[in-house]
A and B are shown apart, each in its own frame.
Chain A
Amino acid sequence: MKAFRYTFRQLRRSARAVLITTEITLRQIATDGFIIFGLFIQPLLVAFLGLWMLENKGGDYAIFVVVGSSMTGLWTSILFISGISIMEERWTRTLELLVATPTPLFLIAFGKNLAYVAQWLFSIVFSYTVVSVVFGYPLEIRQPVFFALSLGLIVVSFICFGLIMATFFLVNPELDRWKNGLEYPVYMLSGFLFPIALLPGWTTPFSYLLSPYWAARVLHATSQGTADLREIVLTWGMLILFSILYVTLSLILFRKALYKVRVDATLSQY
């Protein structure tokens, strides 16, 4: 009973740390021009580009484009913002303080990523509203329940993906300089706006290793009403599998990274 109470108290403290981090991060990014562009304006511009380019495709191309362009915003956010969520603490000289507090850095990173991915949900609603209400494109989500449940899984999966990115950037600051070259490859490999069948066959296994691919696949299928039970089970299963994998890996990487930067005395180096 005592152990149970202790565990419950610990869980409550962890949840509180995560939620406070999320709240503060949401407040910080609400006026950040770079994030506003990445999550709201860029997906909208990509959506219009896609809508005008794919208008001859017929069928449900409009909802396909809106979902795909929203996914581009999410990936851009994960790459450019989640990746540097720990690095930016380095730049503002607060990383040492965070590492020294009893709250695990992993939880802080989790809270920050929760804020970024939560803001992405607003961006989907924003894109949907502008494209459908302001510009009058017919947008219908054919399997709304599965779509909403998929969104929930995707939120978790991308938070976990963001944690992995944060550790990579923490251990290797050089990676920060290469991120400009990582944006479009994932757009392509994940099939956000065109099927991956258009790419050379040898790239397909790389797509299967990316959770954004499974996220885009299930959102496209549920929005267009083509998701049967087998497809749902497969895509959700892969999203859950990747989430577990990413969390486990990131926990190990966080521990190793923090040990390494202390031993090498590079905690503040960038």
Chain B
Amino acid sequence: MFEPDDFRGRPYGFTTNQISHTAAVGFLLIVYGSCLAWSWAFGEYPYKWMIALLGGVGYLAYELWDQGWHGFDTVEDWWFVNAYGVWAPLATFSEAPTEMNGLLGAAAFTGDLYSALPWIILFAVHLALGAAWRWFNS
């Protein structure tokens, strides 16, 4: 997981690697983690731009520190984390006002599945094309 790898000729490895970037790093760690931490600290959720900034800068810094620059592979990993793992949930969910807004644990979400649909479709197409390219090169 922590060695640089473009999964040339290994479509299954590419697919599972990028789903992990999106689900575990982008969504769980950055979006869910930062919302949980912010709500513990301040009783509400952060602005969306703060989450995007954390994901965009933080993940790039981590990737460069851990693996160094590998051109398109670095950018593709970053894209799976940020576009599909962070921006798609930010497009889907918004903080909703509640009667107790501002008090610890009172923040709530509203969701709109359609606003994230372009990202979800792009994710599926990107994953399929990436896997197909590796399949044909195996």
User: Do A and B interact with each other, yes or no?
Assistant: no
Binding site for A on B (CB under 8 A): none
